[in-house]
C-alpha cells in the first residue's frame, strides 16, 4: 500500500540556518503530495502542496519539489526562524475521497 517516510527528529537548528526535512513516498499512480505543520497547541495546517511531478510547492519561505524519479518531496527553507519551531508532516493523497497518508512527523526546534 501507499506509505510516507520522514526523517527522524527532532531537528535542532540555530536561527538563520538552512533546513532540510527529508520525505520519501511509496505510491501507485500519481498522488498529490503535501507538507502540513502543527504549531504547539494547534491543529495541522497545510503548509504547501504539489500535485504532479516536478511541481514545486512553496509558502512562507518553505519549498518542496515533487520528484518522481526519486519518489521524494523534501522540505527546505533557506533561513529558519524561532517561529518555525513546530512538527512537520509529509503526506500524500490516497484516492479521490480526500484520505491522506502521513509520515510520522519531524519536530523542528529553532534556537535563537
Partner 1 sequence: EPEVTQTPSHQVTQMGQEVILRCVPISNHLYFYWYRQILGQKVEFLVSFYNNEISEKSEIFDDQFSVERPDGSNFTLKIRSTKLEDSAMYFCASKGDSGNEKLFFGSGTQLSVL
Which residues would be at the binding site for partner 1 (CB under 8 A)?
4, 32, 34, 36, 41-46, 49, 51, 89, 91, 93-105
Q: Which residues of 31-61 are buried (b: 16+ CB within 10 A; e: fewer)?
A: bbbbbbbbeeeeebeebbbbeeeeeebeeee
Shortest Å, Cβ 110 to partner 1: 22
Shortest Å, Cβ 83 to partner 1: 18
Sole residue written with cell 518555525: 84
> Is 17 or 102 the residue whose CB approaches partner 1 more closely?
102
> Is 2 or 72 the residue whose CB approaches partner 1 more closely?
2
Shortest Å, Cβ 70 to partner 1: 21
Q: Do the beta carbons of residue 20 and residue 6 sit within 8 Å?
A: no
Amino acid at each position: 500500500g501507499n506509505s510516507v517516510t520522514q526523517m527522524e527528529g527532532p531537528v535542532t537548528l540555530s536561527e538563520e540556518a538552512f533546513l532540510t526535512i527529508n520525505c520519501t513516498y511509496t505510491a501507485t499512480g500519481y498522488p498529490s503530495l503535501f507538507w502540513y505543520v502543527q504549531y504547539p497547541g494547534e491543529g495541522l495546517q497545510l503548509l504547501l502542496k504539489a500535485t504532479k511531478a516536478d511541481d514545486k510547492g512553496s509558502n512562507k519561505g518553505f519549498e518542496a519539489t515533487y520528484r518522481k524519479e526519486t519518489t521524494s518531496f523534501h522540505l527546505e527553507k533557506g533561513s529558519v526562524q524561532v517561529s518555525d519551531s513546530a512538527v512537520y508532516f509529509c503526506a500524500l493523497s490516497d484516492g479521490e475521497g480526500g484520505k491522506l497518508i502521513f509520515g510520522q512527523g519531524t519536530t523542528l526546534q529553532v534556537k535563537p
